[in-house]
Amino acid sequence: MSQQFAVFGTPISHSLSPQIHSAFGRQAGIDLRYIAIEAGPGDFAAKLQAFADAGGVGANVTLPLKALAAELAVTQSERAKHMGVANTLARTADGWHADNTDGIGLVRDLTDRHRLDLRERRTLIVGAGGGARGIAPALLDAGIGELFIVNRTPERADALADMLGQPSRVHARYLGDVATFGEFDLIINATSATRGGTLAPLPRSLVGRRTAAVDLSYGEAAIPFMAWARATNCHDAIDGLGMLVEQAAESFKLWHGVRPDTNAVFAALSGHSAGLVTAD
């Protein structure tokens, strides 16, 4: 009988995760079934329990459920516990174990696939929600320089900076003051605002000669930020498809004990993501 896995979130119907994990399963010779389950904050707990009752052994979690996933777990990895968000759940005898593979997935995509040297890069993260919380510690561990966080709600940026606990290196700022920040070597869009095709105005003054612009989303949701990156002559413009594949590989390793080949899956998907609307 196939092992049962799922990805939860909203919207979720266009998620690539079922295709990715099915491909990983074929690589590893593992018989698995992976489905997408639409769930919001109001019904996620009930749907997750129903999934477990039906034999579900592993789940991925995307927007807007990552904080709730961490709360529902009975045990958490250090990285999930530190930032209070989880994108991966593994069923144990006692309940769900939570982990977050977003950060390591992003760093692996940027350094291995795109050959970016992250060391000492002055970095700006736009957004302070679950996506930003999932990636910020891994970026700091990868050796970036100063990290600036901006958000439409400044209190959330302040809270994220406090959680990271490195006040000499991590700075929360008001989004309205972004034009005064100077140039950045790495600019990451971690907001979900671009789902509606909109993007908070970002000035050209943020861009230097080696600026890499990275969107955590892929497909249609990444179009506005990618267009801005190209219009402002960023050295690199990278969407979230590679991160999606890499974080999925880390989840797969947690569940099955083997890390799949991501390059083949990324190559197969890279020409087919234009119509997708959100990052997992």
Same-fold call for 3-100+244-269 versus 103-239 = yes
Is 253 among the residues known to form the active site?
no
Residue range 103-239, CATH number: 3.40.50.720
- What are the extents of the domains in the chain? 3-100+244-269, 103-239
Confidence of residue 278 (pLDDT cuts 50, 70, 90): very low
**Looking at the predicted structure, is the pLDDT value of residue 279 above 50?**
no
Confidence of residue 273 (pLDDT cuts 50, 70, 90): very low
Confidence of residue 184 (pLDDT cuts 50, 70, 90): very high
**Looking at the predicted structure, is the pLDDT value of residue 149 above 80?**
yes
Q: What is the topology classification, in CATH, of domain 3-100+244-269?
A: Rossmann fold (3.40.50)
How far is residue 122's CA from residue 128's CA, in Å, rounded to a whole number? 17
**Looking at the predicted structure, is the pLDDT value of residue 276 above 70?**
no
Q: If you average pLDDT over residues 156-165, what whole number do you get?
A: 96
How far is residue 155's CA from residue 128's CA, in Å, rounded to a whole number? 9
**Looking at the predicted structure, is the pLDDT value of residue 275 above 60?**
no
Q: What's the length of the chain?
A: 280
85-113 core/surface letters (b: 16 or more CB in 10 A; e: else): bbbbbbbeeeebbbbbbbbbbbbbbbeeb
How far is residue 65's CA from residue 54's CA, in Å, rounded to a whole number? 21
Helices (H), the chain: 17-28, 44-53, 66-72, 78-83, 102-108, 130-141, 154-164, 223-231, 241-256, 262-269
Can you spell out the DSSP letters for 124-140? EEE--SHHHHHHHHHHH
**Looking at the predicted structure, is the pLDDT value of residue 200 above 90?**
no
**Looking at the predicted structure, is the pLDDT value of residue 274 above 80?**
no
